[in-house]
Structure 1
Amino acid sequence: MASTKRKIFTYLLFTALALLLVNIAVDLFTHKTKKPVASELSRTEIENTFWKVLDDYGINAEWVKKKKFREEHEDSINAQFLVTLPAEVPIPLIIKDINNVIEKDITGFVSKEMQIFGATEIRIYTNEMLKLKATLTPDPKLARNRNDFSFIISDAFTLSDKKFSDFLNVTYPVAAAIVPDTDELLKVDSLQRFSKEYVLLINNDIDDSKMKLVQEYQKELLRSSIRNILSAFPNAKYVTVEERSKLFNSPIYNFVRDEFKKRRFTVFPLSEFIRLETEDEQELVSKFKFYSEDTTASRQKVFYLTLDNFGKITPLIVKYKKQGSKIVPVSKSYLSIKQKN
């Protein structure tokens, strides 16, 4: 009997030790998730947030004035911001972006109040203390320092069906470059349904004998090819030519160019556009940023790039659009003026 009790005791002892070791192991190898402690945003942090959001929307610092502020029961600040901004800038979105940062402080909130003449007053509180007061007043005379962008997708008509569908569903008014060919007419019809424009690209890839522009053709045959091209693609906005093509470097080029001009089409060389065809993403982004932020040259930019590269720079497009730049159809770019001249 005593032997049995000792066995039971020994068994229970080893079981307890085993459970203890398991618990120690769990404590050692399991990291308990600590909930972040919400800290109250300081007045400086809130002001920095305010300035950053204004900068994100392309608001010039000269449009922001700081003025002394005194109000009974609101002695936590001694100055307020008076912001005059272009009427096109969406004040509700500015407030939303500020609030996206402020709400990280669980005690913080933004109050807004519409005033006469369209002004909006915002007050930012944390822990029930006023940390920032600003009045935003739209002014139709002001305009942001912006550029207009147009995009021509160079490979739209050589993409897979899935990728071509992606192109059609791009929310911006991008255009497609098309090498003239009757086999492409079905795809061309789909462009209009998705509010997409197209330009005709003359290069060495034209296989349709009725549309070829080759040195072996007599002038009348060349005229016929030009008529066939323009009748098959009546909604083309522009005609562009690859400088490395046989046509561009042949004796017939001037004749072909002039024949298009008679039909109200200026033939633009591809070098007219800003070409973003590099496969190096860092180089692509750097080049796009350079031209997009340049305000010393033309404010209207026409970019020529693949759909894949367009996707890579889309976050930057969103950024520049927020700052006031516009994405316009290629038909509304500066090319329309050059074509008329």
Structure 2
Amino acid sequence: MPFYFSKKSALSIMFGTALVLLIANLVLNIYENENNSISNKRELSNTEIDSLFRFSLHSLGLLDDWIKESKSSKVDKSYKVKIPRDLSIPVILAEINSNFWESDVTINSVEKIFSGRSILEIKWKDEIKLRADIDYHKDIFRSAGTAAFILENFELSSFEDSLLLEIPEPFSPLFVPSTENLSVRKFILDKQKTYSLLLNDDIPELKYKLKDGYSKNRLKGPLLSIINDFSSATYFFIDDGSDLFNSVIFSYLKDELVKRKIKIVKLSYLQKLDFSEIDLLISSFDTFMKNTAEGESITFLISVDNFRNLLPVIKSYRKVGYKIVHPSETKPSENID
């Protein structure tokens, strides 16, 4: 008995066949990629394993004095490693695994639950090439300072700028009081970030405008609007190059803010990173960070674009022990005298 296929049935069969072939091709590609990945793994010598292990520890800010070789007849290299309390063992293991990713070694670690110690082993073909006893020590510290970032030119309407609110790095946008920035303020706070307020000659709206020549009675309205609407700001910065700062009314403004325990700081107390060339930006940032010792802090004023450019460098400093914090956790200055 002859079989007849409708046009619709034929199309369904063709579509089904194409789908099966597509899935088969995807599976084959995944299998080939996995095989290629395995075959591309590089064999390391004992010296290379040792060097890469030590490099991993140094990249996290560990000192040679904390990495002591110990004698063992069972493995080629054995270490006792001290780590400070601010560095977790899982972070160390992740760094080591990352650096050995392209090699054919196997990395295992066993954590001693009660002591917090971890025993790490690096193997090649079931032969232990390196063993490390990693343990916390409360009397050692990575010598590194603290930094915070205040961002100029932050625009919530910019997709790239708004994405910054999703990253873990803390920062504080800086803006002048305005009705639009009331909404920006709320959005920033909802994202668990902070913001700072700038008082200068460029406040656009009469509701918030502070102008030399205003009487105290005339100033009271805008000042109270600023205080009521933006009291959640980490700092009130005053542009000390502005006419407002150098006017006779500033003393009154300062007294009213200080009376309400609002921190007011000169903008010039921030360390400005204003470079159009990325190399100059990074080298300047490096200099400031390396001169910021343990227990010291520095607060940078930086454009949102330059902050984005610095993010990989900021991450590398955090990695070796520098603390990147919200500006509220630093002290750029005491209140203006």
Q: Structure 2 length normalisation: TM-score?
A: 0.80
Deviation at 1:214, TM superposition (A): 1.6
Q: 1:38 to 1:201 in 2, by over 3 A?
A: closer
CA distance in 2: counterparts of 1:243 and 1:333, whole angstroms: 20
What secondary structure, in the 3-state scheme, does the structure 2 residue paired with 1:112 have?
strand
Tell me which of 256, 260, 274 is aligned to 1:259.
Answer: 256
Q: 1:167 to 1:124 in 2, by over 3 A?
A: closer
Is the contact between residue 103 and residue 109 of structure 1 (CA under 8 Å) also seen in structure 2? no
Q: 1:151 to 1:39 in 2, by over 3 A?
A: closer
Counterpart residue type for residue 193 of structure 1? D
CA distance in 2: counterparts of 1:292 and 1:155, whole angstroms: 23
Q: Pairwise mapping of residues 223-234 of structure 1 onto structure 2 (< 5 A)?
A: 223-234=220-231
Partner of 2:120: 122
Partner of 1:216: 213
What secondary structure, in the 3-state scheme, does the structure 2 residue paired with 1:304 have?
strand
Partner of 2:82: 84
Deviation at 1:319, TM superposition (A): 1.1
Partner of 1:139: 137
Question: Where does the alignment leave 5 or more consecutive residues of structure 1 unmatched?
Answer: 1-34
Bigger radius of gyration among the two: 1
Structure 2 residue 313 is the aligned partner of structure 1 residue 301: no
Is the contact between residue 242 and residue 269 of structure 1 (CA under 8 Å) also seen in structure 2? yes
Partner of 1:52: 55
Question: Where does the alignment leave 5 or more consecutive residues of structure 2 unmatched?
Answer: 1-37
* TM-superposition CA deviations, 1:113-139 (whole Å, max 9, x none): 334622211222224443222110112
Is the contact between residue 146 and residue 295 of structure 2 (CA under 8 Å) also seen in structure 1? no
CA distance in 2: counterparts of 1:150 and 1:269, whole angstroms: 16
Q: 1:120 to 1:169 in 2, by over 3 A?
A: closer
Deviation at 1:38, TM superposition (A): 5.5
Is the contact between residue 196 and residue 233 of structure 2 (CA under 8 Å) also seen in structure 1? yes
Is the contact between residue 265 and residue 334 of structure 2 (CA under 8 Å) also seen in structure 1? no
What secondary structure, in the 3-state scheme, does the structure 1 residue paired with 2:281 have?
helix
Deviation at 1:338, TM superposition (A): 3.0
Is the contact between residue 182 and residue 232 of structure 1 (CA under 8 Å) also seen in structure 2? no
CA distance in 2: counterparts of 1:236 and 1:313, whole angstroms: 24
Q: Pairwise mapping of residues 233-312 of structure 1 onto structure 2 (< 5 A)?
A: 233-296=230-293, 299-312=296-309
CA distance in 1: counterparts of 2:296 and 2:206, whole angstroms: 40
CA distance in 2: counterparts of 1:154 and 1:301, whole angstroms: 17
Q: Pairwise mapping of residues 313-332 of structure 1 onto structure 2 (< 5 A)?
A: 313-332=310-329
How many residues get paired? 300
Q: 1:170 to 1:119 in 2, by over 3 A?
A: closer
Is the contact between residue 180 and residue 206 of structure 1 (CA under 8 Å) also seen in structure 2? yes
CA distance in 1: counterparts of 2:97 and 2:233, whole angstroms: 46
Counterpart residue type for residue 62 of structure 2? I
* TM-superposition CA deviations, 1:121-164 (whole Å, max 9, x none): 1222224443222110112333222222221111114x644244
Counterpart residue type for residue 321 of structure 1? R
Counterpart residue type for residue 87 of structure 1? R
Is the contact between residue 173 and residue 195 of structure 1 (CA under 8 Å) also seen in structure 2? no
| Runs (4+) off by over 4 Å | 35-39
Counterpart residue type for residue 250 of structure 2? Y
CA distance in 2: counterparts of 1:252 and 1:279, whole angstroms: 36
Tell me which of 91, 100, 110 is aligned to 1:102.
Answer: 100
Structure 2 residue 334 is the aligned partner of structure 1 residue 338: yes
Partner of 1:12: none
CA distance in 2: counterparts of 1:197 and 1:145, whole angstroms: 27
Q: Structure 1 length normalisation: TM-score?
A: 0.79
CA distance in 1: counterparts of 2:293 and 2:231, whole angstroms: 36
CA distance in 1: counterparts of 2:107 and 2:233, whole angstroms: 50
